[in-house]
Structure 1
């Protein structure tokens, strides 16, 4: 998994509208990349809506937001439309972006072990250097964690 001081990995993904999103677009900008397990599930919805509700404050502080999950473009589109998300989310079905950030890991839930996305947020400065890793995401108060 990426850690403090690491550089923003080069990536290319497809957003909810089928448009390409790449790391080059964020050069010289502060960037928040948040990984979530599955669109439209309770925790992921709470997290995305908290970021949506605090989007203007995050933008004022200069942050660009980008969500990533292994969902399809169609599922991401439904998610962003239903909850009126003002930021892009990447549909990373092939795990290209997910693997570059190192968030596809062994998880345990109710006695079961399986591979999945570990809910994690990375904050990068204008130079593309990771200045914050949030691995204990508070889904209902996530913007405050980023802004602290």
Structure 2
């Protein structure tokens, strides 16, 4: 798990269009890096659509939104198009970056335990340090929570 005040782990991941995104490319901006379990599932769709709808407000505050899952580029492309998402979805099929952030762990579904991507968000400041971490995310309210936290951090 990455903690507040620590440098955010660097990454270089492809988005749904095959474009490379490096964390270093966003130096000088706030980065909302959110990890989600699976494209086009109910909770992940709610969360993505909420970030889509809040993107303008977040951009006004100097932030970019990046979604990350282990899904492949084709899956990301379909999900991105289906819901007219307006931010990149990054693919981490090796789960190397997901694990570097601590967003991988044991999950429970229908009484079965398995390992997978945890729904977590990291707010990274313009210097590349972790400013806030959400370890437990409620998909339907989360984008608003992030915008409010960013506003508070910028006042401090």
User: What TM bracket, shorter-length normalisation?
Assistant: over 0.9
Query: Which residue is equivalent to 2:126?
Result: 126
Q: How many residues align?
A: 148
Q: 5+ residue gaps in structure 2?
A: 149-156
Q: Secondary structure at the match of 1:128?
A: coil
Query: Which residue is equivalent to 1:22?
Result: 22
Structure 1 runs of 4+ with >4 Å offset: none
Structure 1 residue 106: Cα displacement: 1.3
Distance 1:57 1:19 in 2: 24
Distance 1:101 1:13 in 2: 14
Distance 2:122 2:133 in 1: 5
Select between 43-52 and 88-97 the one with higher mean Cα deviation. Answer: 88-97
Distance 2:27 2:59 in 1: 16
Distance 1:32 1:11 in 2: 14
Structure 1 residue 33: Cα displacement: 0.2
Query: Which residue is equivalent to 1:100?
Result: 100
Q: 5+ residue gaps in structure 1?
A: none
Q: Secondary structure at the match of 1:51?
A: helix
Q: Secondary structure at the match of 1:97?
A: helix
